[in-house]
Chains A and B, each alone.
Chain A
Amino acid sequence: MSKSILEDQTGMPLEANMASNKIIARHIFKDYRTKKKEVRALQDINIEIQDNEFVCIVGPSGCGKSTLLKILAGLDFPTAGEILLNGKTIVGPGEDRGMVFQSYTLFPWMTVEENIKFGLKLRKISAGEIQKIVDSYLKKIHLEEFRKSYPKELSGGMKQRVAIARALANSPEVLLMDEPFGALDPHTKEQMQLLLREIWEVEKPTIVFITHDIDEAIFLANKVYVMSTNPGEIAEEEGIYLPFRREVEMKDSQQFIRLRKKINRILYSDDMTAN
């Protein structure tokens, strides 16, 4: 991890400086065969995700975002194409790719603390070490007082914070996030974005984050892939040259507005040509 590059305050996109590819996907196709017809969910997807990069994938509903993320997680497999993680083909799910889902997936029979411990306890780590990691994440997500609470006692935003902590505590190579804030109200959503970005600015985990919210993508990412639908394709790759330390006010900056317009145009150009 070369710190000097990461703390570059000019906000140069990381790929400009770094050569280490964490994930490479080449010519990914995914067809779903149902009884009536064949659906092409993904067509010729090529993406590269560098170490410590925060990548967002935006696209309209049904363009295949979840499908792509599931393939990266190893929970589903492409019809054709190749995906490499650290140069090795992905053959299934594993602890090197943590995931946060849109639906709430905390284990309801475990307390907040036990949920965060789940992955750690599957590995050979001493109890004391585990507790230290868990405590540090409880602090980061501001839920120390809820360590003994069950998920049913938490709000939606709190649940997703625990889910993020649970995934990060396992120190995965990549954190995959599928519209994790999609079900939250706008205010909670903004707080969650700040928290996530803050965590990233400190720890720099590699993140692939899916959303259909353009603002969310620009605010969080260093690089945004824009997807178009029918079939699901990467329409554009957009470097985000905002300052490293993100603040909510940036959403009103000229640069942000320009990016928002540009991505909007790419996303909805199909509609316009259709009219």
Chain B
Amino acid sequence: MHKVFKIRGKISKKLYLLIGISSFLLIILLWTIVTGLGLVEPMFLPSPLKVTENFVETVQNGQLLNNAGISIYRIVMGFLLAVIFGVPIGILVGTFKAVEAFIRPLCEFIRYMPVPAFVPLVMVWSGIGEGAKIIIVFLGTFFQLVLMIADDAMSVPDDLLNSSYTLGAKRWTAIRKVLLPSMAPRMMETLRMTIGWAWTYLVVAELVASSSGLGYSILKAQRFFQTEAIFVGILTIGVIGLITDRLFALLIKVMFPWDERNG
């Protein structure tokens, strides 16, 4: 115990995993006890069993996978669009002061506007089709992404670029062969973070303007007082988020074995 609680002390991977799992188990245990003893109305907090039943049922009738599929599709499209435009613009902002002067103040301004407030506007523009949801996800992530990618580009040490110049690199070579590979790990971390935020904006869009998707399934469940279905919806989003995050982490580890932070 003494060692475990040493400031910044290390613990084994196994112990870490064990403690991690135990926190989940603890919550489930408490949940079971509270609902099992009937301390709370099932309408407010359904038992784990009821939630599991609903999960199995919606998996079997295909609703859950359908909704999850459509939500994932919207996330991927909106996020890809944000990446396709946001990453190059972010790199330019972080590399050239003139581009920064043009883009940064604008992005800073727009990113303070709450994205949910854009939902009605987007509906006016593009109805409630698939496009609307993709645009919301795009709006929610794009401006943040530009600014964060710009910071990633700026974090490349001057002397790394200077070294390449003294080895004969010209501007374009320095960008391609030094700036990009040097910032790549940080950039992947940025993408890993922003895709998490994308879910927030998607659910907002699906709650307001949709007839499919996990956000919609949550809203519908609320209308029919199916609290267990709300739980299933939220937990599904959580699990998909967790899986995405782990995939990114794995990808980063495989892609950048040379990175200092990559043990």
Contact = CB atoms under 8 A, between A and B. Distances in A.
Interface in A116-142: 118-119, 122-123
A95 B159 contact: no
Given A108-B182, A109-B256, A109-B258, A75 B162 contact: yes
Contact of A152 (B163, B169, B182, B258): B258
Task: Give the one of A101, A167, A176 with max B CB within 10 A.
Answer: A101
Contacts of A118: 164, 167, 177
A108 B160 CA distance: 10
Interface residues of A, number: 30
A99 B162 contact: yes
Contact of A97 (B166, B182, B258, B259): B166
A108 B259 contact: yes
A170 to B, nearest CB: 6
Given A99-B163, A101-B163, A109-B182, A119 B258 contact: no
A223 interface: no
A172 B163 CA distance: 13
Contacts of B257: 150
Interface in A23-74: 73-74
A151 B258 CA distance: 8
A75 B167 CA distance: 12
A101 B165 CA distance: 13
Of residues A107, A150, A151, A176, which shows the largest number of chain B Cβ atoms within 10 Å of its Cβ?
A107
Contact of B166 (A98, A109, A123): A98
A94 interface: yes
A122 B163 CA distance: 13
A103 B157 contact: yes
Contacts of A123: 168
Interface residues of B, number: 22
A93 interface: yes
Contact of B168 (A94, A109, A110, A163): A94
A74 B165 CA distance: 9
Interface string A159-186: 0000100110010100010000000000
A105 interface: yes
Interface in B153-182: 157, 159-160, 162-169, 173, 177-178, 181-182
A107 B181 contact: yes
B168 A119 contact: yes
A92 B170 CA distance: 10
A107 B157 contact: no
A226 B173 CA distance: 37
Interface in B23-68: none
Given A73-B166, A95-B168, A98-B166, 19 more contacts: A99-B162, A103-B157, A105-B157, A107-B164, A107-B181, A107-B182, A108-B258, A109-B181, A109-B182, A109-B256, A110-B258, A118-B164, A118-B167, A122-B168, A152-B259, A152-B260, A167-B166, A172-B166, A176-B166
22 contacts: A73-B162, A94-B165, A94-B168, A95-B166, A95-B168, A98-B167, A99-B162, A103-B157, A103-B159, A105-B157, A105-B159, A107-B178, A107-B182, A108-B258, A109-B181, A109-B256, A110-B258, A118-B164, A122-B168, A152-B259, A152-B260, A170-B167
